[in-house]
Chain A
Amino acid sequence: MSRRQQESTVLFDALGPRGRRNSAIASLISAVVIIAVLAFAAVQLNAEGFFEASRWANPLDVLVVKTTWIPAILDTLLAFVLGSVVALFLGVVFGFGRISRFALTRWASTGYVQFFRSLPLVLLIWVTFTIDGRLGFTSEVLGWSGDTRRLTFLVLGLGIYNGAVLAEILRAGVAALPPGQAMAGHAVGLRHGQVQRLVVLPQVLRNMLPAVLAQLVILLKDTSLGYVITYPELLHSAKIVGNDYGRSYLQALIIAALIYFVLAYALSKLVVLVERRLRKKTAAPARAVQQIETSAVAE
């Protein structure tokens, strides 16, 4: 906020009476245009019966909420939590694998990161699920039910893909850490593993927490890809509700989108909060990396 004000005072000059009037006129015009667009959309939607009470009330019936929406939210959150755990674990393993002392570990980790970062997540989820279906491993050998299998492969896909992204974030965090930290660790007699575990990792995790959390917001949104293997998450359930109440199809999808919005928005607010908390403690170079990373991760 203050940043923008600073910038505009430099870029725009302090406005004189005419400038202020122009700016007021611009505000007015843009307000009128935006309101006109929204009003036009509302009138059109109204004419098509978008706001009809029954169309909204039916998919939000108590019974539907109990049997569909709440389980769907819980299933989405379950996939999110499990996926995050797997992704964080793989991220730490391969992030530090990429800067290992052993060439073989480095190559393997680089291969993992580059390979899984270039494949679409939806392909990853669906292909692993299909391979398993052909081989019949989880269904016949382990005897898992359909929904357990779906959850497993959704979590696996989310974890493997986001693990590769998190590995890159953590590697950037290690690179941004002043080398004196590791040197000081060696100087007091810690072995390499101890330095990484006790000195480097805690600082990197703290410095990169905003970027990691931003990636977890993306992971939350990506749980919707469970749709391709018919995992009963929010979007899938919204389509089922939409099929049951044919006239409320759009409304059911919008309700699902709103739930996603609330969940993701709350999580991203947490990111801002953490960022603000950390700003005082974090070293300057690490902060620069955070900005790059948060703007770069969009997938």
Chain B
Amino acid sequence: MFDNFDLMVAALWAGMRTTVWVTLASYAIALFIGMILVVMHVSPALPARWAANAYTQLFRNVPLLAVLFIMYFGLPSVGIVADNWVWALLGLGMYTGAFVGETLRSGINSIPLGQAEAARSIGLTFSQSLGGVILPQAVRVVIPPLGSLLIALVKNSALVLAIGVPELTAQSRRLIEDTQSRFDLWGVIIGVTVSYLLIAFVLSYLVRFVEKRTAFVR
């Protein structure tokens, strides 16, 4: 069943490393974009709010695969060329960034108005009440949904196989469609499933750890 076991493990291990690396890097991009979006969302400047809204709606309603295709296959026709891993990180990051922005916004909205009123009434300035009262509470509220976004991103990162990035799913596909058929179908399927379960397990453990560390009773 596990023919050429060492070769299979090596290929899946390489794919797993790529998956984790792509996930974490694009998550960093997504957090950055999400923070910019939420600042634009709550800013008093109307055009900035419109732009943030347009961005969010665009990426929430277009499939990730379409975004990746437009970037990798479409943009070269207007003279914008980059490696596939650049588009993989940018595409995943920009797509997830829209969801991060929405999550952060709902986090700020979830803080009762009384908190801001209390901060104002003891004489804190705008930046003091935002930085010392609102944001510390909002950050804790959004950690669980941000965690599920990270775990969702692991699964979404499988889509970059369509633009030729050799992540876990792409590796398993390569093994099964191996021209010399050196690998058994079931062995590879078990291998790739276990790999994904392992990533999900470790990440959800980490998320739960962070959740517990930041949990508070309101």
CA–CA, A261 to B51, complex, Å?
Answer: 17
**B205 is an interface residue with CB less than 8 A from chain A:** no
Residues of the B chain whose Cβ atoms lie less than 8 Å from the Cβ of A296:
144-145, 148
Q: Which of A7, A10, A242, A265 contacts B57 (CB 8 A)?
A: A265
How far does the Cβ of B172 sit from chain A's closest Cβ, in whole Å? 7
Minimum CB distance partner of B201 in chain A: A118
A-chain residues with CB within 8 Å of residue B48 when the two chains form the complex: 26-27, 30, 34
Identify the stretch in B4-12, B153-161, B208-216 within 8 Å (CB) of chain A at 4 or more residues: B153-161
Is B155's CB under 8 angstroms from A299's CB?
yes
* Interface flag for B25 (CB, 8 Å): no
Cβ of B156: which chain A residues have Cβ within 8 Å of it? 120, 299
A27-B47 contact in complex given A48-B78, A250-B74, C-beta closer than 8 Å: yes
**A155 → B minimal CB distance (Å):** 17
Q: Size class of A's contact patch? A: 35 or more
- Nearest-neighbour CB distance to chain A for B126, whole angstroms, equals 6
Q: Is the CB of B126 within 8 A of A13?
A: yes
Neighbouring B residues of A265 by C-beta, 8 Å: 57, 61
Contact A26/B44 with A225-B65, A261-B58 known, Cβ cut-off 8 Å:
yes
- Say which residue of A3, A27, A122 sits within 8 Å of B44 (CB atoms): A27
The answer to whether B63 and A250 have CB atoms under 8 Å apart is no
Chain A 211-241, CB within 8 Å of chain B: the 1/0 string?
A: 0000001000110110110000001001100
> Is A10 within 8 A of B113, CB to CB?
yes
- Are B145 and A253 in contact, CB atoms less than 8 angstroms apart? no
Known: A11-B126, A120-B158. A6 touches B113 (CB 8 A): yes
Interface string of B64-82 (1 = CB under 8 A from A): 1111011001110111000
Q: Which residues A1-48 have CB closer than 8 A to chain B?
A: 3-4, 6-8, 10-13, 23, 26-27, 29-31, 34, 44-45, 48
- Shortest C-beta distance, A292 to chain B (Å), equals 7
B69 with A130: CB separation less than 8 A: no
**Which interface residue of A121, A123, A134, A256 has the most chain B CB atoms within 10 A?**
A123
- Contact digits for A111-137, partner B, Cβ 8 Å, 1 yes 0 no: 000010011111100110011001000
CB distance from A15 to the nearest CB of B (A): 8
Interface hits, B95-152 → A, CB 8 Å: 96, 99, 102-103, 106, 108-110, 113, 116-117, 120, 126, 129-130, 134, 144-145, 148-149, 151-152
Choose among B62, B116, B162 the residue that contacts A10 (Cβ–Cβ < 8 A): B116
B182 at the A interface (CB under 8 A): no
- In the complex, B85 has a CB within 8 A of chain A: no
A260 touching B47, Cβ below 8 Å: no
Whether A104 sits at the interface, judged by CB under 8 Å, is no
**Residues A257 and B109 in contact in the complex (CB < 8 Å), given A10-B116, A227-B162:** no
Q: Which one of A127, A221, A292 contacts B189 once the chains associate, using CB atoms below 8 Å?
A: A127
Please tell me if the beta carbons of A257 and B70 are within 8 angstroms of each other in the complex: yes
A130 touching B185 by the CB < 8 A rule? yes
- Shortest CB–CB separation between residue B167 and chain A, in angstroms? 10
From B74, B148, B152, name the one whose CB has the most chain A CB atoms within 10 angstroms: B74
Q: Is the CB of B63 within 8 A of A224?
A: yes
Interface positions, chain B 39-65, Cβ under 8 Å from A, are 42-48, 51, 57-58, 60-65
Do A260 and B134 contact each other (CB < 8 Å), given the known contacts A13-B120, A30-B48?
no
Bound state CA distance, A265 and B58, in angstroms? Answer: 9
A243-264 CB mask vs B (1 if < 8 Å, else 0) is: 0000101100110110011001
- For A239, the chain B residues whose CB sits under 8 A away are 69, 73
Measured CB to CB, the residues of A under 8 A from B are 3-4, 6-8, 10-13, 23, 26-27, 29-31, 34, 44-45, 48-50, 115, 118-123, 126-127, 130-131, 134, 217, 221-222, 224-225, 227-228, 235, 238-239, 242, 247, 249-250, 253-254, 256-257, 260-261, 264-265, 268, 291-292, 295-299
Which of B's residues lie within 8 Å of A, judged by CB? 42-48, 51, 57-58, 60-67, 69-70, 73-75, 77-79, 96, 99, 102-103, 106, 108-110, 113, 116-117, 120, 126, 129-130, 134, 144-145, 148-149, 151-152, 154-159, 161-162, 169, 172-173, 176, 185, 189, 192-193, 196-197, 200-201
14 contacts between A and B (CB under 8 A): A3-B109, A11-B129, A23-B45, A26-B44, A27-B44, A34-B48, A118-B196, A118-B200, A119-B193, A122-B161, A238-B69, A242-B74, A257-B67, A295-B102
Those 9 A-B pairs whose CB atoms lie nearest each other, nearest first: A250-B74, A120-B158, A299-B152, A118-B200, A264-B61, A224-B63, A31-B47, A48-B78, A120-B155
Q: 4 more A-B contacts (CB under 8 A) besides A118-B196, A249-B73, A250-B70?
A: A224-B65, A225-B159, A257-B63, A257-B67
